[in-house]
Amino acid sequence: MASHATAVAGSPPTDKQRIRSVVFASSIGTIIEWYDFLIYGMAAALVFNKLFFPNIDPLVGTLAALGSYAVGFLARPLGGAIFGHYGDRIGRKSILMITLAMMGLGTFLIGCLPTYQQIGIWAPIMLIVLRIIQGIGLGGEWGGAAVMVLEHSPKNRRGFYGSLVQVGFPLGLVIATLVFSFVSKLPEEDILSWGWRVPFLISAVLIIIGVFIRKNVEESPVFEDMKARQNLAKTPVLDVIFKHPKTFLVAIGLKISEVSWVYMLTVFMVVYATTNLGLPKSLILDAILIAAVVEIVTIPLFGYLSDVIGRRPMYFIGALFTIAFAFPLFWFMEMRTNEAIILTVVFAMSMGHGLMFAPEATYFPELFGANVRYSGASFGFQVAAAIGGGLSPIIATALAGYFGGTTGVSIMLILLALITLIAAFYARETKNEALMN
């Protein structure tokens, strides 16, 4: 896109054109990556227990399907470590092309899989292998996109521009939910025979678009400068863990509440609302869709706000909201009216997720020096995502099944929010800091 601007204008792109090009390319990639990752979560919640784990108790089948979903999260730290290492060693841009292609291939092949009825135990095994490939790809994608945007952004707009990378999540969620809303309206027989495959196969088209857009993006000027000065870290991931352990742990703690919260809303709540509350799938999917559309607006707003009041206050406010709303979240859902369901999910998504998610693409890379920035941001983010996002829907489903209610789930959300509060207390504010080289 930058080269296109040059061709049209006949002169090198301006700083504004350059940052817009980088933000657009990074955001397009994250939209596609999140779409790929989120459609699996929806499929796991709605149909995978029947297609890949059919010969066991329904609750156990649901847990098994969510377990295959969690595998992708557990693979994300591995992707963060691998691609973070090479992103800090050979450059940001090339790694972003690899992660996008890896994620897309894994997603497309899931749509081609035979089911348990066709090939038996090999079906869930192949599903899990492809889910691991998905997780590794996403583990390296987010950190690279965040670092690229940060290292191109002006100091006083870093929070806002970084939040545009984060908009990839709700946009990916909107696309994923729209596709699954269409699929869910098909007859049950069609959903189980071919309908569930459609969201995965569409990924091939999105990947081609993403690669085409990204190939013209310029490498990070911070990385080029660091490379010219021969200031590259030999083992950036190990440096993050052993030379910056406090910052690494702070990053994990900052992430863990919002990631658990959002996957409560988009994965556990789908299972709970349809099985325990007897609500139609279409209603909860519509609620998630509307909440994601609202986040497309609120996330940039919160990103701008982080440039004004700082990054840390966003986490204090968001974590306190989560603590206050952990029980009311389910009380409102149990009203079982369309208005209550939709308003609850919309409000909970922006305040319990968007408020803290918005500054992360800026804050996490800001916490680390340039020669370990990709590794530090990716690995910290993805370790927390594996713990909070991958395990929390499974734990919540098990708690709800064991206790016959959501009290245990609410307590779990409060404990995770307390971890984020502690992390925010020990974190440093970076709003006015120059990027460390």
Domains of the chain (ranges; CATH) run: 2-426 (1.20.1250.20)
Give, to the nearest 10 degrees, the angle between helix 58-89 and helix 15-46.
160
> What pLDDT, on the 0 to 100 scale, is given for residue 308?
96
Q: Which residues of 312-323 are buried (b: 16+ CB within 10 A; e: fewer)?
A: bbbbebbbebbb
Report which residue type is found at 353.
H
| 242's tokens | 């052993």
Alpha helices by DSSP H, listed for 235-372, are 236-243, 245-263, 269-275, 281-309, 312-325, 328-333, 338-349, 355-357, 360-366
Alpha helices by DSSP H, listed for 385-433, are 392-403, 407-426
> What pLDDT, on the 0 to 100 scale, is given for residue 38?
75
> What pLDDT, on the 0 to 100 scale, is given for residue 372?
92
Q: Is 245 exposed, middle or buried (0-12, 13-18, 19+ CB in 10 A)?
A: exposed
What DSSP designation does 120 have? T
> What pLDDT, on the 0 to 100 scale, is given for residue 68?
65
**Pick from 281, 261, 420, 421: nearest CA to 350:** 261
Host H or E run for residue 311: none
| 34's tokens | 């999140």
> What pLDDT, on the 0 to 100 scale, is given for residue 3?
41
Give, to the nearest 10 degrees, the angle between helix 281-309 and helix 158-166.
170
> What pLDDT, on the 0 to 100 scale, is given for residue 26?
83
Residues in CB range of 394: below 8 A, 6 or more apart: 63, 66, 67, 70
Match 């490498």 to its residue by tokens: 219
Query: Mean pLDDT per segment of 10 residues, for the chain of length 437 residues?
Result: 40 66 82 78 74 68 64 84 91 84 86 87 84 85 88 90 92 84 81 86 83 78 83 90 94 95 85 84 86 95 97 97 96 91 95 96 93 91 85 82 86 95 96 78
pTM: 0.84
> What pLDDT, on the 0 to 100 scale, is given for residue 10?
43
Report which residue type is found at 402.
Y
Report the alpha-carbon distance of residue 437 to residue 433 in Å, rounded. Answer: 12
CA 386 to chain centre: 11
